[in-house]
Structure 1
Amino acid sequence: MSPNVLSQRLRELTEHGVVRRRDLGPPTRVHLYELTEWGRALEPILLQFGRWGSQSPQLPEGALGIDSLLLTIKAGFNPARAADLRGVYAFHIDADTYLAEVADDSVQLRRGTTPEPDATLTTDIDTLRAVCGHQMTLAAAVDAGVLALTGDKDATQRLTDLLLAPFTPRAFADDGT
């Protein structure tokens, strides 16, 4: 998408109350766009749209970015498994850190850190794509030294289950299982 098209789309979304713009002061001097409460209400619709799209008979071209991979985790999350997966998990992907918090019947994903996650996954985006896309097993990535899991055995297993469940065949079945 060209910068002009992106600017126009952000302007339209702002005018319609879906996002709001915040200007960060010095030294960054950047514009930050965030969803409004009304914009956040779109999340269930977008996640359902993702579930629908995952059943496409044709695979999309191109590599998924980190945001798409994380949205896939959120869209593929089965609320019935929340009690089994409860915890706070950190994903160190390249130079960025993301948190997944499983509580009640949902998973919340965001950028950020926490002092003591239950388990942590550290890798690069290419390895994460390969593991999620079943081109490499998690064990092979760990053995090759390109992925590290830290935390106690139960917590790292929960993190692994949370991460990989949406990427298994038919993960987005009609019944959500």
Structure 2
Amino acid sequence: MEYNQNQCSHCNESISSEDVFCPNCGYPENGDQKEKDKFEYRIELRKNVLNDAKKKLKNVKILLWVLAAINLVLGIIFLMQDLTFYDGIGLIISAIVFSACVFWVNKQPLTGILAAFIFWLLLQLSVVFTDPALLLNGIILKLVFIGIFVKGISSAKDYNEYSQKLQTINARN
């Protein structure tokens, strides 16, 4: 039995005239308009989720830049004081780490955010071990930071998943 070959109008791959869906991209080439509309809707939905994830990732990057700037400024101030010189070095190193995490978030969002969040948590724990009374200092701000990190982690997962799905569809084109 020989099948006629057609071309998918979405990805230009050869498909059999018997196929309802393109085996390459899943487009319902020989389906009805409702199936075609559903396919396009799913792509738009993925793009919307991806754009939302990008916005939330931007918030995490802003937070990391703010943390880097605060640590840098405090580090410079501490370096100017003889008694807190080593604290100043530590703060400048923290600023470098937070800055590096921003670039890491650009390359690998989930890994970069997790690294930054763990580093931030370790810094918070080191302060608490030094003086447990400092745990409650700035608690509202700490909770806001945790919320931004958690939303960023969730968004990074969405970003990875949906960008991969869209790349798969686009790669087939």
Q: TM-score, normalised by structure 1?
A: 0.20
More strand by share: 1
Q: Which has the higher contact order (CA 8 A, sep 6+)?
A: 2
Q: TM-score, normalised by structure 2?
A: 0.20
Q: Which has the larger radius of gyration?
A: 2
More helix by share: 2
